[in-house]
Amino acid sequence: MERAPVAGRWGGVKWEPRGVVPDEAPPGAPAQVIVEHGETCQMLFPGLTVRLERSEAEGYLLNITSPQPRVFVLWRLEDEIGRPVMATVSYNEGTRWADSGEPADSVPLPPDWLPWIGEFVEQNYVPEQRKKKKRYASNTDRGVGGRWNG
C-alpha cells in the first residue's frame, strides 16, 4: 500500500494499493515500511491469501482474458493507515466490491500467476447453458388474435 500526498487546494494524503508480491514473511508478521520519503510511504502487509473458488471461475476467466489482468484489493483505513483486507483475481468479485462502495482498487496481475489461474479456469469453468427462446410462427400461436380493429 502507498500513502501519497494529494495535489490540489486542500492537500492531504491518499492511500492506494501499489502491487502484490509473494508473501515470504513468517505467519503473523507485522506490516513493514519499505519506503518512506516525506509524505510518501509504502508499506508491505503480509498475510493476505488469494484463493480460487469454483463459483468465481467465470470472473477469473474474464480477468485473465482481458487486455490488462488485475488483482483487486479491498482495503480499509485503520488508524490513518490504508490496510488491505482481502484480495481477489475475480473480475466479478472486484466489480461487486467497487459497486457496493467499498474502498477497492486494482493492481497489475503478476504474470507468473496466469498459468495457475488459467489451469484452474480450464478445470472448473462451465459455461452457463443458454436457454432457447421459443419462437412463434405467428401471433395466433401465442394466443394473440389475428384480427385487428382500428
What mean pLDDT value characterizes the chain? 90
Residue 145 lies in a domain: no
- For the chain, the helix, strand and coil percentages under 3-state DSSP, each to the nearest 5: 25, 25, 45
Residue 31 lies in a domain: yes
Q: Which domain holds residue 26?
A: 2-128
Over the stretch 109-136, which tens digit does the pLDDT of each residue have? 999 999 999 999 999 999 887 777 767 6
| pLDDT for 67 beyond 60 | yes
Over the stretch 82-106, which tens digit does the pLDDT of each residue have? 999 999 999 999 999 999 999 999 9
What global pTM score does this model have? 0.81
- Indicate the number of domains in the chain: 1
Among the ranges given (13-17, 91-95, 137-141), the one the predictor scored with the smallest mean pLDDT: 137-141
In contact, 101 and 74? CB cutoff 8 Å: no
Residue 120 lies in a domain: yes
Residue 133 lies in a domain: no
Residue 134 lies in a domain: no
**What is the SS3 string spanning 77-92?**
EECCEEEEEEEECCHH
Residue 107 lies in a domain: yes
Residue with the three cell numbers 483487486:
72
Residue 115 lies in a domain: yes
